[in-house]
Amino acid sequence: MSKIEEVALLILSRKSDKTVEHILPELNRHQVPWIWWDPGSIPTQSCMGFQWNNNKWQGALDTTAIINLSPDLKSAVNHSKLSVSLGTDIGAVWYRRPTKEHAPWDTPNDDMIEFINTEVNWFMKSFYTAGIVPVVCNPIQGQKASARTLQLAVAQQCGFKIPETYIGNNPEEIRAFWKKCNGKTIIKAIQNSVAVDINGNERGLFTSRVYKKDLEHENKLHACPCIYQKEIPKDFEIRATVVGQEVHAVEIHSQQSSYTKMDWRNYDLDHTPHYVHQLPKKINRHCLDLVKQLHLLYGAIDLIVTPEGDYVFLEINPFGQWGWLEDLTDIPISAAHVRLFQDLLQYPEKWNYPLWVNKPAHAE
């Protein structure tokens, strides 16, 4: 890529990603060079490696699996076979939704397939933690930040109000918690929002109210750990999308539809108004502090605004979607991403992006 004067953004995602497609026009409008590649093509169509040199990791990528390129790169590089230097040609990475790793088709047996897939998975984790380039939506930090125990604790430390919470599967403790909340208790999944029933059908696991009769089924309470929280009265809800140092908040008037009263993910967009929301300065600062304390560059924060005007933190999704918010309200989240990418490409050092200090104490 010696013909490219500016470093490029490397987008890691599968071929059909509407969010990536959504943001490409904005990247092109601001002339940000980008390469769209799926790391699931390792090892079948892509080779990648990095080595320790001059007290830091340096890497390179060779691939025949480029999904697309920005217009300026299409005219300057070989699209069918691309070789790039990570950290020189590539200045930042945006992790989206790559396909899963898969061993070569001629791998002799299932054990070897599992071995190769596991090694590739850990190889990519090594890349995300090597500090070669900043990674937006870094899956390693994102997975850690997704732990509800961690994010609730950090949110409160940052100044947010949080609901009373119990996480577990002890029937006696669940009943005691329900009684403590005077029966005003909700239940939600710890991580997965979709399950497959005995008939093979996918079912959404949305936030639901816990009734007294639900507490009678000992085996069901014991069957799976869940999150139980005191139900917070809602005036409306907020999705606050943090991109770098910007916070873009949208009101979701979930109480106007019977489908979305308990969980706005039971989408009823025709009857659930969305409006741009100006957060109070204090809440805006809490959002920025939370993302920073969790070592993220991006986070989608869900809040409740009570009838009294209090802002209550529910959760943060380090990989949360945002395209529908922009479609419904014209809130400029795409533009915020572009500004973050530009900043990372030009001034990566100011973001302190490595997950470890890139200069070991023993280095001279």
What pLDDT score was predicted for residue 329?
97
The verdict on residue 186 lying in a domain is: yes
Distance CA 271, CA 254 (A): 9
Secondary structure letter of residue 130 according to DSSP: S
Phi/psi of residue 269, nearest 5 degrees: -60, -30
| Spatial contact of 70 and 151, defined as CB atoms under 8 Å apart | no
Residue with the bigger pLDDT between 207 and 356: it is 207
| Spatial contact of 187 and 224, defined as CB atoms under 8 Å apart | no
What pLDDT score was predicted for residue 361?
37
Which of 157-166, 195-204, 340-349 is least confident? 195-204
Query: How far lies 317's CA from each of 52, 93, 314, in Å?
Result: 33, 19, 10
Segment 102-117 shows an average pLDDT of 93
* Pair (201, 281) in one structural domain: no
Which of 33-37, 254-258, 353-357, 358-362 is least confident? 358-362
- How do strand 226-230 and strand 165-168 relate by DSSP bridges? antiparallel
* Pair (39, 88) in one structural domain: yes
* Pair (190, 77) in one structural domain: no
What pLDDT score was predicted for residue 357?
36
DSSP E strand stretches across 126-245: 135-136, 165-168, 185-188, 194-196, 202-204, 208-209, 226-230, 236-243
| Spatial contact of 50 and 86, defined as CB atoms under 8 Å apart | yes
* Pair (16, 114) in one structural domain: yes
* Pair (203, 248) in one structural domain: no
The verdict on residue 265 lying in a domain is: yes
Measure CA 233 to chain center.
27
Query: How far lies 305's CA from each of 19, 192, 279, 313, 322, in Å?
Result: 28, 25, 11, 9, 20
Total domains in the chain come to 3
* Pair (177, 74) in one structural domain: no
The verdict on residue 362 lying in a domain is: no
Q: Is 300 in a helix, a strand, or coil?
A: strand
- How do strand 274-277 and strand 208-209 relate by DSSP bridges? unpaired
* Pair (47, 114) in one structural domain: yes
pLDDT above 90: residue 151: yes
Residue with the bigger pLDDT between 363 and 214: it is 214
CATH of the domain at 274: 3.30.470.20
Buried b (16+ CB within 10 A) or exposed e, 283-309: bbebbbbbbbebbbbbbbbbbbbeeee
Query: Of 180, 211, 230, at which residue does a domain stop?
Result: 230
The verdict on residue 353 lying in a domain is: no
The verdict on residue 196 lying in a domain is: yes
The predicted model scores a pTM of 0.91
* Pair (219, 247) in one structural domain: no
Which residues make beta-bridge pairs with 229? 165, 186
Q: Which residue has the tokens 């795409």?
A: 334
Structural element, H or E, at residue 158: none
Q: Read off the pLDDT band of 101 (50, 70, 90).
A: confident
* Pair (16, 70) in one structural domain: yes
The verdict on residue 270 lying in a domain is: yes
Q: What angle is formed at CA 144 by the lines to CA 210 and CA 194, rounded to 5 degrees? A: 40
The verdict on residue 356 lying in a domain is: no
Q: 43: which 2 tokens?
A: 């090892």
Percent of the chain predicted with pLDDT > 90: 78
Which of 70-74, 279-283, 313-317, 355-359 is least confident? 355-359
- The burial of 35, by beta-carbon neighbours within 10 Å (0-12 exposed, 13-18 middle, 19 or more buried), is given as buried
What pLDDT score was predicted for residue 87?
87
Segment 87-98 shows an average pLDDT of 94
What pLDDT score was predicted for residue 5?
63
Measure CA 121 to chain center.
18
Mean pLDDT, all residues of the chain: 91
The verdict on residue 63 lying in a domain is: yes
Segment 160-171 shows an average pLDDT of 97
Segment 203-217 shows an average pLDDT of 88
- How do strand 185-188 and strand 208-209 relate by DSSP bridges? antiparallel
Q: Read off the pLDDT band of 199 (50, 70, 90).
A: confident
pLDDT above 80: residue 252: yes
Determine the structural domain holding residue 183 and report its residue range: 166-230
* Pair (83, 179) in one structural domain: no
* Pair (206, 254) in one structural domain: no
3-42 pLDDT, tens digit each: 556 799 999 999 999 999 999 999 999 999 999 999 999 9
Query: Of 230, 262, 285, at which residue does a domain stop?
Result: 230
Distance CA 190, CA 170 (A): 15
What pLDDT score was predicted for residue 3?
52
What pLDDT score was predicted for residue 79?
72
Q: Is 53 in a helix, a strand, or coil?
A: strand
* Pair (291, 188) in one structural domain: no
Secondary structure letter of residue 161 according to DSSP: B
281-335 pLDDT, tens digit each: 999 999 999 999 999 999 999 999 999 999 999 999 999 999 999 999 999 999 9
Which of 49-53, 217-221, 240-244, 344-348 is least confident? 344-348
What pLDDT score was predicted for residue 263?
87
